[in-house]
Amino acid sequence: STMKPILSVSGLSVRYGKVEALHDLSIEVGPGQIVSVIGPNGAGKSTLLNAVMGALPTTGHAKGSVRYRDEEVSLLPVERRVALGMCLVPEKRELFASMSVEDNLLLGAYRRKRAGERNYLDQLEPVFGLFPRLKERRKQAAGTLSGGERQMLALGRALMGKPNLLMLDEPSLGLAPLIVKEIFHIISALRGTGVATLLIEQNARAALQVSDYGYVLETGELAMQGPAGELAKNPRVIETYLGLA
Ligand code: ATP
């Protein structure tokens, strides 16, 4: 593609002590694209997102380059990367259980408020538009939401910060099939909003369906990559990750 990538990772290796979790990985995400990284448990998917965000556990050591909008960010602390528009929604969703849905959403805009943006709440109505269920439950404590609603809240809170690059760690994990469908529908709806999405999933079928491009990660290394539609037709991807359809 002729468009400059919004994210460009090259030669990324991560080790935890003696264990090398990622080896010489290179991936790109173009502006407005949805890119997925699929692969089995332990392949290094979460490690990749945490390294891109600068949020590895202290036992993890990364080397290699992470360029975000033409800037090398690999040495920046996580708050600086957030301020530049990078956002990670971790697998554990990390909501404030005793706070209301609405207050959790408002926290997502906190950085923009602090940065002096006057319209820092401008995403509240669009987020409620994407997630009418959150609007219905705006006064309810986050801790009382269902698993699917919590994932919606985690996504909605991330969107309140108006990120340019949204990184989602297993958004479908532990959710019932109908909710998974809803979550993926929303992810694909984000394509029109200008945010680029890097999606980590074990649900390879759903991930490839909404993605422009895909990478297959196996034991810390790229095994395959290609346009998502092509990967979904690749016999080895079908056999290993999509099951017999
Ligand atoms: P899953 O889907 O099961 O979360 P994953 O693809 O996200 O898997 P990672 O969680 O990135 O994989 O783990 C990659 C490898 O690094 C695994 O072998 C894992 O045991 C190891 N690992 C992950 N986190 C740590 C850590 N904090 N300390 C030591 N080893 C770790």
pLDDT digit of tens for each residue in the chain (245 aa)? 557 999 999 999 999 999 999 999 999 999 999 999 999 999 999 999 999 999 999 999 999 999 999 999 999 999 999 999 999 998 877 899 999 999 999 999 998 999 999 999 999 999 999 999 999 999 999 999 999 999 999 999 999 999 999 999 999 998 989 999 999 999 999 987 889 999 999 899 999 999 999 999 999 999 999 999 999 999 999 999 987 54
pLDDT of residue 91: 84
Indicate which residue's Cα is closest to atom 9 of ligand 1: 44
Does 203 contact ligand 1 (Cβ within 6 A)? no
pLDDT of residue 84: 95
pTM of the model: 0.94
Does 45 contact ligand 1 (Cβ within 6 A)? yes
SS3 106: helix
| Site to substitute for ligand 1 among 47, 50, 199, most atoms within 8 A of C-beta | 47
Does 57 contact ligand 1 (Cβ within 6 A)? yes
Does 19 contact ligand 1 (Cβ within 6 A)? yes
pLDDT of residue 94: 81
Indicate the burial class of 114 (C-beta count within 10 angstroms; 0-12, 13-18, 19 or more).
exposed
- Residue 234 is which amino acid? N
pLDDT of residue 2: 57
pLDDT of residue 244: 54
How remote is the CA of residue 19 from the centroid of ligand 1, in Å? 10
How far is the C-alpha of 104 from the C-alpha of 188, rounded, in Å?
23
How remote is the CA of residue 38 from the centroid of ligand 1, in Å? 14
How far is the C-alpha of 188 from the C-alpha of 52, rounded, in Å?
22
Cβ proximity of 9 and 35 under 8 Å: no
How remote is the CA of residue 21 from the centroid of ligand 1, in Å? 7
Does 41 contact ligand 1 (Cβ within 6 A)? yes
